[in-house]
Chains A and B, each alone.
Chain A
Amino acid sequence: MSEGIIYWLQQALNAFQLGSIYALIALGYTMVYGILTMINFAHGDVFMIGAFFCFLLSSLLGLSFIPTLLLTMLGTALLGVMIERLAYKPLRQAPKVSAIITALGVGMFLENFTLALAPYPKQVPLLLENVTWDVYGISISSIQIVIISLSLLLMLLLDYIVQRTSIGMAMRAISWDKTIVPLMGIPVDLIISITFAIGAGLAGAAGTMYALAYPVIDPYMGVMVGWKAFICAVVGGIGNIRGAMIGAFILGTVEIMVVAFLPSTFRDFVAFTLLMLLIMIRPYGILGKPRIQKV
């Protein structure tokens, strides 16, 4: 193969890896928005907590990759449910802006709580042996394969839950009409808790995988990644699960391509500019539809 094609394929692979992590986080934003029309700005910090759970489980308890991943997901899922119950549920009838401010507050709480316990960046132990293969000149690492395949698996699982199960059907129903779902006897609070658990669990998986690829973690790592994942969700059409995945892969691609051609300091500047242009062209996002407000 020619040098050019190899180069492009290499970049595409890298973009796919980055996009998968963004997608897992973006899904949490979009699911919560879909069900509560609320932006959970603490979500990026749940991702950060996931990376720290991963650090604790692997370095202090010495667990291997699979148990670390599963326990991290379980831990962040519980954290997500707790955040919703303690911080958001009491404000469900309050103006939306109150819930958003609370979400920002919860995020800062998580950052500073972690900072108090871990003032210096932590090094996550190597959970998987990193082997790099050379396939026709494209270098593929085992970590890359794990990240991409695991993310795709989780996204397929989520799509299955939302499209094919009774709980998924209830989630979709709530996103369309919250008042009448309980009149079918369905406990809306339980469905909301499950939504937060799934979203935060995916963020935990993203935190673990991020720590695989970039093992130095700190309490503020979730801020920028969180903002970016949020933007992915908006670009894809917030509230739309498949849209969040598409938005994430677009941002992953844009970032990798910018770095490939321009100085790396241009990355976020160019990426955000392009995303803003995209939003101007499609204000409801790629798969989003304007919603008619029911009176």
Chain B
Amino acid sequence: MTILIANKVGHKFGGLSAVTDFNLNLHYGELMGIIGPNGAGKTTVFNLITGVYQASEGSMRFKGIEIVGKRPNQIAALRIGRTFQNIRLFRELSVLDNVRIAHYAQANYGILEGLLHLGRYQKEEQRIINNSRYLLSIFKLEQVAGELAKNLPYGLQRRLEIARALAISPELLLLDEPAAGMNPHEIDQLMLLIQWIRQEFNLTILLIEHQMKLVMGICERIQVLDFGETLAVGTPDMIQNHSKVLEAYLGEVPGG
């Protein structure tokens, strides 16, 4: 069963093709990785899936629903959550509010109730706060819930971004270089965490990563991009031994 199918998706910046003929078959519950050299179009793929960019050609179906042409908030409402390569938190909001705000699209009350704090608001707000605190506790952030997001150290900001992405109750989670800037010990912890949240929240996960340790360690399948084109798709073992991949990507890593 596939949760997300991309069929011949293309995107151009001006005349320049950032992604061409991108195909993807992502199965329910799968943990898949996208790798490729810098500028290969990995983040562009995430931006196309989440509607930040509009695909100039092709189609993408999520849970059977065509998402090309939909707005980012409509796509998010279908339960696709994501993080960003360069952390994009609401820097001036508290850690708790960063997670709270991501609940509101699904909040079960109307605008007037929200403004006037009437009706279902109180109960719903309590549920949102409780769930936010639960998500923060998973990422060991409950101690800093009241701090402004910008005051957190880098590692905690990365974790907060994942917590926020989970607040929209995603079925598909897109992680853009979650291990960037982490030391080997932190990467080990992150690998365990990713596998744990996948179980706990019943997630399908698609991740972009340069850290081969993480990609080869936890991804079930890997898709390799280069200059916007797919070079190979397969299990970590297959990818590690793929000649085109070695040439384009792993060949650059000393001893890789």
Hey, what's the 0/1 contact readout for A177-212 against B, CB within 8 Å counting as 1? 101101111111000001000000000000000000
We find that the number of chain B residues with CB closer than 8 angstroms to chain A is 31
For the complex, what is the distance from the CA of A176 to the CA of B150, rounded to whole Å?
A: 12
B91 on the interface (CB 8 Å rule)? yes
B185 on the interface (CB 8 Å rule)? no
> Do B115 and A167 have beta carbons less than 8 Å apart?
yes
For the complex, what is the distance from the CA of A177 to the CA of B71, rounded to whole Å?
A: 17
Q: Which residues of B contact A188 (CB under 8 A)?
A: 73
A161 on the interface (CB 8 Å rule)? yes
B52 on the interface (CB 8 Å rule)? yes
Q: How far is the CB of A290 from chain B (nearest CB, A)?
A: 14
- Other-chain contact of B50, A166, A183, A194 (Cβ < 8 Å): A183
A282 on the interface (CB 8 Å rule)? no
A112 on the interface (CB 8 Å rule)? no
Nearest chain A residue, comparing its CB with the CB of B97: A169
Q: Which residues of A contact B92 (CB under 8 A)?
A: 172, 176
> Do A186 and B115 have beta carbons less than 8 Å apart?
no
We find that the number of chain A residues with CB closer than 8 angstroms to chain B is 20
For the complex, what is the distance from the CA of A194 to the CA of B111, rounded to whole Å?
A: 10
> Do B73 and A169 have beta carbons less than 8 Å apart?
no
> Do A177 and B90 have beta carbons less than 8 Å apart?
yes
Q: Which residues of B contact A185 (CB under 8 A)?
A: 73, 76-77, 102, 104-106, 168
A170 on the interface (CB 8 Å rule)? yes
Hey, what's the 0/1 contact readout for A105-117 against B, CB within 8 Å counting as 1? 0000000000000
Residue from A161, A167, A185, A187 whose CB has the most chain B CB atoms within 10 Å: A185
Hey, what's the 0/1 contact readout for B100-129 against A, CB within 8 Å counting as 1? 111011110001001101000000000000
Q: How far is the CB of B109 from chain A (nearest CB, A)?
A: 9
Q: Which 9 pairs show the lowest CB-CB distances between chains A and B?
A: A185-B105, A182-B72, A185-B76, A182-B73, A184-B102, A166-B104, A185-B77, A173-B90, A187-B73
Given contacts A167-B111, A176-B92, A182-B73, 14 further A-B contacts (CB under 8 A): A166-B101, A167-B115, A172-B90, A182-B71, A183-B82, A184-B76, A184-B102, A184-B105, A184-B167, A185-B76, A185-B104, A185-B106, A186-B101, A187-B73
Question: Which B residues are within 8 Å of any A CB, using their own CB?
Answer: 50-52, 71-73, 76-77, 81-82, 84, 88, 90-93, 97, 100-102, 104-107, 111, 114-115, 117, 164, 167-168
Ordered by A's residue number, 29 sampled pairs between the chains whose C-beta atoms are within 8 Å are A165-B114, A166-B101, A166-B107, A166-B114, A169-B97, A169-B100, A172-B93, A173-B90, A173-B101, A176-B91, A176-B93, A177-B88, A177-B90, A179-B88, A180-B84, A180-B88, A182-B51, A182-B71, A182-B73, A182-B76, A183-B72, A183-B73, A184-B76, A184-B105, A186-B73, A187-B73, A187-B105, A188-B73, A194-B111
